[in-house]
Amino acid sequence: MTRLALIAHDDEKPEMIDLAETYESLLSTFDLIGTGTTGKRVAEATGLTVERKESGPIGGDAQIAAEVAEDRLDGIIFLRDPLTAQPHEPDISALLRICDVHDTPLATTRTTAEYVLNGLAADTETMD
């Protein structure tokens, strides 16, 4: 099953929820994980099952990076706020590096997230 991680900075959580609602049918076929608050808010808004890791400030992003290193993720959507991210929010640098090393797609905007979702959907269809 396709496994996808969801992370969002505080100001981007509403966008993540909107994205999840828009793609709920597709996401329901994926195994989803997320950082604590993002995962909780997506699950509450959509009814999707999201395995919740720790919140970003206390290591959830590192737990997701470990999943990439263990080849357990097919992609990550990390909607980040490049202008006003707060110090307590997860930093993308280490996650980006590990994704590059393991050739795992990482989307940081709504548009790239949609491309990743459509690409993962196409991969799923070709595997069937």
- pLDDT tens digits for range 64-81: 999 999 999 999 999 998
* Residue tagged active-site, from 61, 74, 103, 128: 61
Is 88 marked as a binding-site residue? yes
Residue 68 burial (C-beta neighbours within 10 Å; 0-12, 13-18, 19+): buried
Q: Count Cβ atoms below 10 Å from residue 78 Cβ, excluding itself.
A: 27
**CATH of residue 100:** 3.40.50.1380
Q: Show the tokens assigned to 98.
A: 């590990």
Measure the CA–CA gap between 124 and 103, rounded to whole angstroms.
18
Q: Is the pLDDT score of 86 beyond 80?
A: no
pTM: 0.93
Q: Which domain holds residue 108?
A: 3-127
Q: Is 61 a catalytic residue?
A: yes
* Residue 35 tokens, joined: 């950082």
Q: How many domains does the chain have?
A: 1
CA distance 79 to 33: 14
Task: Please report which confidence band the pLDDT of residue 19 belongs to, taking 50, 70 and 90 as the band edges.
Answer: very high
